[in-house]
């Protein structure tokens, strides 16, 4: 599933901090992927979505073809915050300043949920459990965004020095 999502990045999904604050959007638009997936889930027809948002046929076809994966991504994003005024836009666990990538790195280093919760008292168990449950769809996006923020920070730092 992770590879499928990586393949969709750039093909139909775009991540740009100037569009929807960095949340994944349909390529070439400012329309959040999660919104289109939710509209399809609510029973909106492809034609209605195309007319409403002036989207090309191929884009909606790709969303429908990858609906279950994109629905999973939309569900996962409920537990993540992406805001420029919080850690420069690095995706964090909602309502905290703890980067999602950091949770994954700790898990990779043998930490369990209980140890993470002891070390980071601002985290809620349900949020950490969901971040782990949705790792397959969140991690590729979170890592890409983290790299982008770090690169941007280094560029800005280079201009100052």
Q: Give how many domains the chain has, as a whole number.
A: 1
Q: Which domain holds residue 105?
A: 2-160
- In this prediction, residues 124-135 reach a mean pLDDT of 97
pLDDT of residue 99: 96
Evaluate if residue 148 carries a pLDDT over 90: no
Evaluate if residue 115 carries a pLDDT over 60: yes
**pLDDT tens-digit readout, 75-95:** 999 999 998 888 888 899 999
Confidence label for 160 from pLDDT (cuts 50, 70 and 90): low
What does the buried/exposed string (b/e) look like for 41-71 if buried means 16 or more CB atoms within 10 Å of the residue's CB?
A: eeeeeeeebeeebebeeebbebbeebeebbb
d(CA 152, CA 128): 28
CB 80 within 8 A of CB 100: yes
Confidence label for 161 from pLDDT (cuts 50, 70 and 90): low
**In the predicted model, what is the mean pLDDT of the chain?**
90
d(CA 139, CA 141): 5
pLDDT of residue 2: 62
pLDDT of residue 88: 82
**Domain CATH for 42:** 1.10.10.10
């Amino acid at each position: 599933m992770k590879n499928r999502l990586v393949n969709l990045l750039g093909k139909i999904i775009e991540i740009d901090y100037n569009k929807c604050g960095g949340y994944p959007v349909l390529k070439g638009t400012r329309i959040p992927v999660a919104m289109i997936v939710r509209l399809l889930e609510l029973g909106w027809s492809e034609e209605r979505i195309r007319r409403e948002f002036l989207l090309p046929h191929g884009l909606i076809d790709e969303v429908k073809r990858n609906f279950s994966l994109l629905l999973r991504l939309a569900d996962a994003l409920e537990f993540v915050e992406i805001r420029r005024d919080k850690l420069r836009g690095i995706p964090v666990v909602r309502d905290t300043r703890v980067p999602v990538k950091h949770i994954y790195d700790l898990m990779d280093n043998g930490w369990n949920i209980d140890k993470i919760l002891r070390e980071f008292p601002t985290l809620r168990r349900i949020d950490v459990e969901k971040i782990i449950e949705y790792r397959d769809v969140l991690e590729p996006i979170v890592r890409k965004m983290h790299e982008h923020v770090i690169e941007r920070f280094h560029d800005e730092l280079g201009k100052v020095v």
